[in-house]
Amino acid sequence: MKLIDDLNWRYATKKFSPKRVADNDLEQIIEAINLSASSTGIQPYRLIVIDNPSLKKDLAEGSFNSQIAEASHLLVFAAFASIRKEDISDYMELISKVRETPIEALADFENAISSGLLPQTDTDNFIWSAKQAYIGLGTALIAAAQLKIDSTPMEGFDAGKFDELLGLKEKNLKSVVILALGYRDAENDYLANLKKVRLPLDEFVTKTN
């Protein structure tokens, strides 16, 4: 299975080369993320794609993750800070348009989502939204590996700085995880030629009858 080979190939790249990711490859990764599984399909997060060197440098300032500035592109997964009634209404309108379904026919679905999400606190809904964003991150890692594009997922960044520099608060968003994309500098990345370390399957997996 080629996917297994691709996943064995990928690792969390520590040092990127200056080579840039082609626009077509980047768009394929973005489309894959957009097609990720999402609870109820509402996609309570947004993706910010950064390739501006100056902005990447500003975002990387003070971070121990040099990949933020060195990567060809930086993807920021930003979750909804809260779930609002208008977010659910917008989703219903999108379903109605795409599936050519009368909006009235979606009333039960809208009520089910609203009753499940709107009574929750903003903190609870942000946590839920962040978990959805991580599903998108997983898809991005796999898509990049299949294109033989290196990547580094990172949580060790100043989310407050990212939110401020990217104007996320005004969009009801909070950055939760980032992904650097590019190509490995095999000569200067100490991890590039090391074997991947994972648990044996019989230790990792429990099968029940």
- Domain membership flag for residue 22: yes
Task: Identify the CATH number of the domain in which residue 128 sits.
Answer: 3.40.109.10
For position 104, what pLDDT does the model report? Answer: 97
Asked whether residue 167 falls in the same domain as residue 90, the answer is no
Give the domain range for residue 142: 2-83+123-204
Indicate whether 54 and 131 sit together in one domain. Answer: yes
| Claim to verify: residue 140 and residue 57 sit in the same structural domain | yes
With cut-offs at 50, 70 and 90, classify the pLDDT of residue 92.
very high
The whole-number pLDDT of residue 62 equals 82
Residue 200 burial (C-beta neighbours within 10 Å; 0-12, 13-18, 19+): exposed
Work out the average pLDDT over 42-57.
97
Q: Based on the structure, what is the number of domains in the chain?
A: 2
Q: How confident is the model at residue 209 (pLDDT cuts 50, 70, 90)?
A: confident
Residue 89 CA to residue 80 CA, distance in Å, equals 15
Residue 63 binned pLDDT confidence (cut-offs 50, 70, 90): confident
Whether 111 and 127 map to the same domain: the answer is no
209 in a structural domain? no
Identify the domain boundary among 92, 119, 146.
119
Q: 98 and 156, same structural domain?
A: no
| Rounded Cα–Cα distance for residues 175 and 71 (Å) | 18
At residue 165, the pLDDT reads: 96
Average of per-residue pLDDT across 135-142: 98
The CB-side HSE value for 99 (13 A sphere, CA atoms) comes to 11
Q: Is the pTM of this model over 0.75?
A: yes
Cα 147 to chain centroid distance, Å, stands at 17
How far apart, in Å, are the Cα atoms of 173 and each of 99, 126, 148?
28, 9, 30
132 shares its domain with 40: yes
AA identity, residue 9: W
- State yes or no: pLDDT of 1 exceeds 90: no
Q: Are residues 101 and 180 in the same domain?
A: no
Average pLDDT for 136-140 = 98
Q: Which of 103, 119, 135 is the last residue of a domain?
A: 119
For 44, other C-beta atoms within 10 Å of its C-beta total 24
Please check whether residues 13 and 64 belong to one and the same domain. Answer: yes
Residue type, 27: E
Whether 114 and 127 map to the same domain: the answer is: no
Find the farthest-apart pair of alpha carbons in the chain and give their distance in angstroms, rounded: 60
Quick one: what percent of the chain has pLDDT higher than 90? 96
74 and 8, same structural domain? yes
- Under a CB-based contact definition with an 8 Å cutoff, are residues 181 and 22 in contact? no
Digit-coded pLDDT (tens) for 147-198: 999 999 999 899 999 999 999 999 999 999 999 999 999 999 999 999 999 9
